[in-house]
Chain A
Amino acid sequence: MKVGLFVPCYINQFYPKVAIATLELLEKLGLEVGYPLNQTCCGQPMANSGYEHLTGSTNELFTQNFAGYDYIVSPSGSCTLHIKDHLHSDKVPAEAKNIRSNIYELTEFLTDIMKVDSIKASFPYRVGVHQSCHGQRGLKLAQMTELTAPAFSKPEQLLKMVDGIELVPLTRADECCGFGGTFCVAEEAVSVKMGKDRVADHIKNNAEYITAADMSCLMHMEGILKRQKSPVKVVHIAEILNAAMV
């Protein structure tokens, strides 16, 4: 099984440790993981701003980079969803279609494809799980509180296999953090207020760490935590699942 690792642009540049954890996790499962060096971005920042018509070249580049892999895995629900919904190629439409159906966000790849049922990792802290909207409502990584339907959560299913971890319940289980791509600067006031409220929910419920399957939400919340000089930290779920045993 050939797996292509797709690392979102901002993770590549700002959070390499998240990509390293993702790569190591996949390698531990005995997978052959390729990392196309020419990858840049999924094109979502343009598309969500109303410029999807400008994403032709990033689409072609993406398709070129990831054609030929059995699966494409990414530590981001949001970027994965964008590719799933919007990747098109005029040059090789069949390849783009393949990628759309074979791209997986990391946690769903672990639960649904690899059927992971045990994880050798230890993270002895109180952790609040932030459900990023595109992962949850877009990729259906977890049940949504709006619906009358049975509960499940792929990220939590994995986290519960981690030694010593204590998941803290939140008052609002799946409210948006307010990052929203360019929304975070275009609607700065509301974006920050949403982030402050989300962070406050985790703090109120005694979380030491906030985790998520999307680093963009965490980057936004980390920015607020740091400005508030809070001791609470953010950590990507891949880092927890890849944490060494103690």
Chain B
Amino acid sequence: MSTVKDHAELAQVFNNDEKRVDWHDETLWFVRAKRDRASHGIPDWELLRETASQIKHNVLSNMHNYLVQFEDKALANGVKVHWAANAAEHNAIVLSILKEKGIDRMVKSKSMLTEECHLNDFLQDNGVEVIDSDLGERIVQLAKEPPSHIVLPCIHKKKEEIGDIFHEHLGTAAGESDPQILTETARQHLREVFLTRRAALTGVNFAIAETGEFVVCTNEGNADMGAHLADVHIASMGFEKLIPQRKHLSVFLRLLTRSATGQPITTYSSHFKKPRPGQQMHIIIVDNGRSIQLGREDFRNSLKCIRCGACMNTCPVYRRSGGHSYHTAVAGPIGSILAPNLDMKKYSDLPFASTLCGSCSNVCPVKIDIHDQLYKWRQVIVKNGYSTKTKTAMMKGMTLALSSPAIFNFSGKAGRLALKFIPFAVNNGLNPWYKQRDMPAPPEGSFTDWYKKNRKGEKS
């Protein structure tokens, strides 16, 4: 087995500080509760979800045509369109655009795709400085950490820790943790960045096939600040960001932020259509495994995701294990069904980091059957040989015992605490059940024993 820690090990480390787990859980539960209030206030909420899901279904079924249409319209609008088959191609395209203009400093608003492609590291290795302009992203960037949540990148950090980071990097007073002061400091710091960077990269929330325009949603206006002040605007998008028509935004914009944070709409929902005079506008359309996922019938619907993060906020496992324990750019339930597509071996642990409670599927604004896909990934991962030999041996043993009433009843009689075929019931010091839990006191006999005696008149 690899030496990389899996979700269970990383989550165990996270749980060493229970007070912190409580704080993390409560913080995200607060967001889930806000989401509930916002969604319950819309009588047609379930219809909206169904509609969004169907629109995306149409997109996934007609991907080729919508992509071609989008490219045509974007080109006609004066936008340069690039196609990247994978992360490396995407990163190389960004670098070549910057090199052509002789640019070695770029500002970037939030884009989970660039996290997926590890763009920042790549550009840094090639002599380009990148500054993330989303406040949360800037904080984790200064801390040299990846985001732990797709909408709330530094949700794992307390304000005192952010104060320490700002003290070290942005010159605030030692011990300063007042959110107002810290935010103002970041604002002044980023203002200088916006004014001086000649290139800005943004993500894309929705790309409209009908018009060739794209929509970027932020609460801080940082995408706009970057893009409007820069000579070069690069927008990176996974190809699943397409929607057919502008009118469909009325469905998605109502769903996105209510699901994400409980707000009615993002503060800024900015439409970008054509470069302003003298500006260059590039769109990079990225595949990076998406075609493969599109071809996996059981997992295709994962591409409907609009990256609201609602599944993370509601997930009882995510809230108590932290985003970093998922060791992938997109954490939580959605990340656990996306990541195995990119690297089944490396992420073979993630579909198991769930109780299959199903809350994720219920909050998903585009009705992705997340928990069913987690179950299906487990089957695929085992069949592809990414399970441990011990587990396989144990499962085979269980199957044998449970397939034979004789063995089952014998094992039961032999001592109810030694039910070897029920994994949580193995009574030895190595069983993690007993670390923090007791087992039920063994009854005198099984129900089958009782039934034979009391309903069949058999003597025990």
Task: Give the B-binding residues of A (Cβ under 8 A).
Answer: 7, 9-17, 19-20, 23, 35, 37-41, 43, 45-55, 57-58, 61, 133-134, 137-138, 144-149, 172, 174-176, 178-197, 219-220, 222-224, 226-227
Q: Encode contact with A along B414-458: 1 for CB under 8 Å, 0 otherwise.
A: 001001001111000001110111111011011111111001000
CA distance A187 to B358 in the complex (A): 17
- A-B interface pairs (CB < 8 A), number: 219
Contacts of B405 in A (CB 8 A): 37-40, 61
Q: Is the CB of B363 within 8 A of A146?
A: yes
Most chain B C-beta atoms within 10 Å of own C-beta, residue among A46, A183, A192, A193: A193
Q: Is the CB of B402 within 8 A of A9?
A: yes
Q: How large is the interface on B (under 10, 10 to 19, 20 to 34, 35 or more residues)?
A: 35 or more
CA distance A137 to B362 in the complex (A): 9
Q: Is the CB of B448 within 8 A of A12?
A: yes
Contact of B379 among A35, A53, A174, A179 (CB under 8 A): A53
When C-beta atoms are compared, the residue in chain A nearest to B21 turns out to be A193
CA distance A55 to B425 in the complex (A): 20
Given A11-B447, A54-B395, are A133 and B422 also a contact pair (CB < 8 Å)?
Answer: no
Binding-face segment, B40-48, B124-132, B178-186, B215-223: B40-48
CA distance A176 to B321 in the complex (A): 15
CB distance from B385 to the nearest CB of A (A): 11
When C-beta atoms are compared, the residue in chain A nearest to B455 turns out to be A35
State whether the Cβ of B352 lies closer than 8 Å to any Cβ in chain A.
yes
Contacts of A45 in B (CB 8 A): 398, 422-423
Contacts of B15 in A (CB 8 A): 189-190, 193
Q: Which of B314-363 contact A (CB under 8 A)?
A: 314, 316-317, 320-321, 351-359, 361-363
- Not counting A13-B419, A144-B359, A193-B15, a sample of 6 additional A-B residue pairs whose C-beta atoms are within 8 angstroms of each other reads A53-B382, A148-B42, A184-B433, A185-B431, A188-B433, A192-B435
CA distance A70 to B338 in the complex (A): 42
Q: Is the CB of A17 within 8 A of B443?
A: yes
Main SS class of interface, B: helix
When C-beta atoms are compared, the residue in chain A nearest to B315 turns out to be A176
CB distance from B131 to the nearest CB of A (A): 35
State whether the Cβ of B12 lies closer than 8 Å to any Cβ in chain A.
yes
CB distance from A144 to the nearest CB of B (A): 6
State whether the Cβ of B268 lies closer than 8 Å to any Cβ in chain A.
no
CA distance A123 to B430 in the complex (A): 39
Q: Is the CB of B402 within 8 A of A41?
A: yes
Q: Is the CB of B317 within 8 A of A187?
A: yes
When C-beta atoms are compared, the residue in chain B nearest to A223 turns out to be B437
Q: Is the CB of A137 within 8 A of B352?
A: no
Q: Is the CB of A187 within 8 A of B11?
A: yes
CA distance A184 to B12 in the complex (A): 13
Nearest first, the 7 closest Cβ-Cβ pairs linking A and B are: A180-B355, A223-B437, A50-B382, A50-B378, A146-B362, A57-B403, A176-B357
